[in-house]
Amino acid sequence: SYRISSDGKPEKFQPPPKPIIIDKQKQKEERRFLSPEFIPPRGRTDPLKFYIERKDMIQRRKAFNIPEFYVGHILAVTTANPYASEKASRFVGICIQRGGKGLGATFVLRNIIEDQGVEIRYELYNPRIQAIEVLKLEKRLDDNLMYLRDALPEYSTFDVNMKPVPHLDHKEIPVNKLQVRMKPKPWSKRWERPKYNIKGIKFELPEKKMKEAQKWSQPWVEFDMLREYDTSKIEEKIWKEVSEELKK
């Protein structure tokens, strides 16, 4: 079929544009997450030591899947225990802290069972761990939820038989902007002080106390160049290395 343009010359047939197929499955696996224990700490140790450690960590990850999780997620961990019935014990709790680097990386799970607060520190790469399931994906406002020890018990109780809450892979991890209410003072640490920089507590202290706490603020620390540790380039390199090894 020919169309006659305004000049009077016949135009060439233009086929319709090809439809662009966006494969959502492939897009979902794109999220990059490098576990914080891969990033080497600042120091003068030989990078060879971290390289060897990373090889061991990747080997362990191939044998056993360690899911992506942050502080504030609710996890269920089954460990091998010779003294438990059926030789395996399961513990459900909220992750309040992730510490350590390399193979000694740990995370602390907290839960309240029968009105008794229990915290267990697990090692990520310990061969006794048989399974880590993420029951609920939810980030919190802080990196460290140690203040839950001084918060009202309702914020640390989680059902042991909780069903895993479904979460789509490609979506962003939701941030729970919950402001936790605390027990009356004294607390184990003075959480209102700016050193801890906690945003997830609803401080019901009088204005005078909050102002007094600001006396201990150190606004110069933010600009201290000797304390800077820029990990972006190191992370890029390690991410490439780790993802290539894991795909093999």
Partner 1 sequence: SVTGACQAIQKLTRVRVVDNSALGNTPYHRPPKCIHVYNKNGIGKVGDKILLAIKGEKKKALIVGHKMPGPVMTPRFDSNNVVLIEDNGNPIGTRIKTPIPYILRQREGEFSKVLAIARNFV
Please give the residue ranges that form the binding site for partner 1 (CB under 8 A): 79, 81, 83-84, 89, 91, 106, 113-123, 126, 128, 149, 186, 188
Q: Which is nearer to partner 1, 80 or 175 (CB)?
A: 80
First to last CA, the chain: 53
| 146 vs 234 by CB, closer to partner 1 | 146
- Considering beta carbons, is residue 17 or 82 the nearer one to partner 1? 82
CA R_g for the chain: 25
The residue with tokens 């047939």 is 13
Minimum gap (Å) between residue 26 Cβ and partner 1: 39
Give min distance, CB of 190 to partner 1, in A.
13
Residue number, 57 or 109, with CB nearest to partner 1: 109
Q: Are 96 and 144 spatial neighbours (Cβ–Cβ below 8 Å)?
A: yes
Rounded least distance, CB 123 to partner 1, Å: 6
Name the minimum Å distance from CB 69 to partner 1: 18
Rounded Cα gap, residues 108 and 98, in angstroms = 7
CA separation (Å) from 53 to 15, 103, 183? 57, 7, 42
